[in-house]
Amino acid sequence: MSETAFEPEGIMAQQIFGLPVDRETLFSNHKKIYKKRVEKRQRKLIVKLPFLKPFLKKGEKILLITSGYSPLASMAQYLTGFVFIYLKRSLFVFTNLRILHILTTPAYRYKGAIAQMAYAGCQSISLNGGTLVVEYGRLGNVEKFKGIPISERKKIKALLNKAPVSGANSDLAERIHLCPRCGHRLTAGKYICEKCQLKFKSKLFARITSILVPGGGYFYTRHNLIGSLNAVLEIFLLLFIGVTLNDTINGVQGSLFYGVALSAIYLIIKIISVIHSNHFIYEFIPRVRRLETTTSLQQRKNK
């Protein structure tokens, strides 16, 4: 016997924490049968999304929330290794119109970066094992989002079978980053919102800080834990390089070899830092930590 879901009446039947949802879909499994464990999981994730309401369009409803990882360039992913989970944790919100991609911390706290994948701009969206594969209409570009939980894969496949993908070669045929303050579409390479003038961190400063400051690229892109580890490693390497350089000057046998080896390791670490920080910049990181919506800004100005 299937379980019976609690169904509130009136306007609250269509909302959870102020967010418009399709309860019948959100709290059911892939066979449209209500499951208490599904509701528990979805409520646990939707609590992480109080900021989302201004981003949703008229008539848009949340169908499913799941977790995974943001796409990473192959070189960057190879160099990331075990910290991949720490660096690229994300939430994915499936609605009747699109998939919202939200960057988070490992604890699923919002990092102030959000993007959309509109069904109308996709040639196809499929689930290959635990990887969400999105092929866009424009030029057939493909992005892969790994780490989709096993418990939600069947339901995602069921939703994707009904998703209105059209493969339209339009301006929606790509993953579109949205301004975290006003929701306006952001343009790659432009580190300011054209509508509300919110400024974002830039690739130039990411490179400079990565090169000049131990762990600087990670600190600049707000990955403080890995930045601290990287900084300690760089400082130790610099100290040992200094020691081997002094030994080389004093004619200590074998010191030149060790100095060259340590310098090569230091250079590789710097290159990895630059690659990572540049990749994070593509996700549009606001310069300010505390974001205000355009509504709250206008209210403050009118006081």
pLDDT in tens, 76-129: 666 665 566 667 889 999 999 999 999 998 889 998 999 999 998 899 999 999
Please tell me the predicted confidence (pLDDT) of residue 83.
63
Local confidence band at 57 (pLDDT 50, 70, 90 cut-offs): very high
138 vs 177 pLDDT, higher one: 177
**What is the bridge-based pairing of β-strands 15-16 and 89-95?**
unpaired
End-to-end CA distance of the chain: 57
263 vs 75 pLDDT, higher one: 263
Please tell me the predicted confidence (pLDDT) of residue 286.
93
Distance between CA atoms of residues 258 and 252, nearest Å = 11
Distance between CA atoms of residues 168 and 138, nearest Å = 8
Asked if pLDDT for residue 217 goes beyond 70, the answer is yes
Local confidence band at 279 (pLDDT 50, 70, 90 cut-offs): confident
Distance between CA atoms of residues 74 and 71, nearest Å = 9
Q: pLDDT, tens digit, for every residue of 225-262? A: 889 999 999 999 999 999 998 888 888 888 888 889 99
Q: Which residue has the tokens 């892969």?
A: 144
Virtual torsion, Cα 146, 150, 155, 157, nearest 10 deg: 50
Please tell me the predicted confidence (pLDDT) of residue 106.
84
User: What's the whole-number average pLDDT of the chain?
Assistant: 85
Question: How far is C-alpha 271 from the chain's CA centre?
Answer: 22
Asked if pLDDT for residue 298 goes beyond 80, the answer is no
Local confidence band at 186 (pLDDT 50, 70, 90 cut-offs): very high
Please tell me the predicted confidence (pLDDT) of residue 145.
93
Asked if pLDDT for residue 1 goes beyond 80, the answer is no
Asked if pLDDT for residue 12 goes beyond 60, the answer is no
**Can you tell me whether residue 19 is helix, strand or coil?**
strand
Asked if pLDDT for residue 2 goes beyond 70, the answer is no
Q: Nearest-5° angle of CA 93, CA 94, CA 96?
A: 135
Please tell me the predicted confidence (pLDDT) of residue 77.
60
Asked if pLDDT for residue 278 goes beyond 90, the answer is no
Mean pLDDT calculated for residue range 36-65: 94
Q: pLDDT, tens digit, for every residue of 23-47? A: 999 999 999 999 999 999 999 999 9
Mean pLDDT calculated for residue range 188-196: 91
Q: E-assigned strands of the chain?
A: 15-16, 19-20, 62-69, 89-95, 98-104, 110-118, 122-128, 131-136, 142-145, 176-178
Mean pLDDT calculated for residue range 274-291: 86
- Sequence-ordered alpha helix ranges (H) in 119-254: 153-162, 203-212, 216-220, 224-249
pTM to 2 decimals?
A: 0.83
Q: Looking at residue 36, what DSSP letter applies? A: H
Please tell me the predicted confidence (pLDDT) of residue 81.
58
Distances (CA, A) of 117 to 63, 152, 177, 289: 15, 19, 9, 25
Domain spans of the chain, in order of start: 10-178, 204-281
**Residue 19 buriedness (CB in 10 A; 0-12 / 13-18 / 19+):** middle
196 vs 11 pLDDT, higher one: 196
CB 168 within 8 A of CB 137: yes
Instruction: Report the side by side order of strands in the sheet with 122-128.
Output: 122-128, 131-136, 142-145
Q: What percent of the chain has pLDDT over 90?
A: 60
One of 3.30.9.10, 1.10.10.60, 1.10.3720.10, 2.30.29.30 is the CATH number of 10-178, namely 2.30.29.30
Q: pLDDT, tens digit, for every residue of 126-172? A: 999 999 999 998 667 899 999 999 999 999 999 999 988 877 667 88
Distance between CA atoms of residues 238 and 253, nearest Å = 20
